[in-house]
Amino acid sequence: MILTVTLNAALDITYTVPALTPHASHRVREVRERPGGKGLNVARVLAALGHESVVTGFAGGPVGAVLRDLLAPLAPHDALVPIAGTSRRTLAVVDDASGDTTQLNEAGPTVSPAEWAAFLSSYDSLLREARAVALCGSLPPGIHVGAYAQLVRRAHAADVPVLLDTSGEPLRRGIAARPDLVKPNADELARLTGSREPLRAARDARRRGAHTVVASLGPDGVLAATPEGVWQATPPAPVKGNPTGAGDSAVAGLLSGLVERLPWPERLARAVALSAATVLAPAAGEFDAVAYEDLLPRIAVTERVAAA
């Protein structure tokens, strides 16, 4: 199985309105609720691709109960650790007129030292059965900034490859623990390295400890700096829709390619096709399967240089 970690899981609420206008009242055309947080989105896409997936992290309070109720009929297995605090909500407002999405994210509940210790015990047990692990998203209050570095080291001790998808200081600390793969977006990579040139920044991130860096470039696809070489994968054309969760679907593509031992060009094509197909889907954690099958053979993957 593939394990995904979402320390700050959320109940994702998506509102669709005809047009979003500041300082105005809006009639909501459609409301969707989904179990959310980056790792839960990744696990749902992995399950749709046919991979057994398990989600862990924290869930608590009435919001956490709704989140777990919504997760129960879905394919990923629920191994979330209960906490006393109430799980956060994220609100996405989709503007039908422009296709743009406005995102509002709560900070999340405070996690106690005892709850963190309970999570670590569960995490170590789950690693025994995992073929790969993804560490995804923000840290809730109460969790130390080096938490992901700690989890990377525990995965390595269990001989499990680990992907890290976070930002800011948790990313900086996590990279120093030498994860097998990091997947920042271009802005996160620039903040980490100080360079706005993606290839230079990706190489810098590798020098800081990441074994491989796959940088999301938005509508321009992804850039991968690996020990075997550097590739860029690009969709045939930009797609309009709700981009929430597109990066999480790319992570699912990379993880599934890892456990299937696909060559890098195939992994990257899958990641980009899934990401674009997620923009066309109504909510995060889903992708348009027809669009995915159509896009996959049309993703252009080019080798930028012989070695990273």
Tokens for 18?
Answer: 């005809």
249 neighbors 41 (Cβ within 8 angstroms): yes
Tokens for 203?
Answer: 């190489």
Tell me which of 180, 204, 248, 288 is the catalytic residue: 248
Residue 67 exposure: Cα atoms within 13 Å on the Cβ side: 32
Residue 51: CB partners within 8 Å, gap ≥ 6?
1, 2, 255, 256, 259
**Could you write out the DSSP letters of every residue in 172-212?**
HHHHHT--SEE--BHHHHHHHHS--SHHHHHHHHHHTT-S-
Tokens for 12?
Answer: 């994702």
Name the one residue in this structure whose structure tokens are 């040139």: 197
248 in active site:
yes
End-to-end CA distance of the chain: 30
| Encoded amino acid at 229, one letter | G
State the catalytic residues.
248
